[in-house]
Amino acid sequence: MIRAFTLFMLGLAILVAAPARPVTAAEAPFEPGLMRLAEVLGSLHFLRNLCGEKGDQWRSEMEKLLESENPDAERRARFIAAFNRGYRSFGSTYTQCTSSASEAISRYMKEGEKLSRDIASRYGN
């Protein structure tokens, strides 16, 4: 799990380090992947806090993503909505950390790592 986390963070760091280009959402083929990444970050923020990891690590990662993308107001609202959708998606399902919640964390870590790696390798410099 630590290895997956390290790879996820490395991929996210590469994505964040890529220079932001002033591209509109309609032009960006990576847009769906970025929106899904925002949703995954929201899910991880909820689940990791539920399972004992206190703090704002995943919210901070979302802020880094927003900073690197430097979106206009409309696109920024879509990013935030995706993060919030991910956060809220587990609120009605989990009220305490369970083995199922831990498994969801593992799956979302892997998905976030894959999204970060794929976006960086396809569209990064």
**Domain coordinates of the chain in residue numbers?**
30-112
Question: pLDDT at position 11, please?
Answer: 53
Predicted confidence at residue 6, as pLDDT, reads 47
First to last CA, the chain: 28
Residue 115: both structure tokens together:
């999204």
Per-residue confidence (pLDDT) for residue 74, from 0 to 100: 95
Query: Three-state SS string across 38-74, please?
Result: HHHHHHHHHHHHHCCCCCCHHHHHHHHHHHHHCCCHH
Q: What is the pLDDT along the chain (125 residues), one digit of tens a residue?
A: 555 444 455 455 444 445 454 444 455 788 999 999 999 999 999 999 999 888 889 999 999 999 999 999 999 999 999 999 999 998 888 999 999 999 999 999 999 999 999 988 888 75
What pLDDT does 93 receive?
A: 87
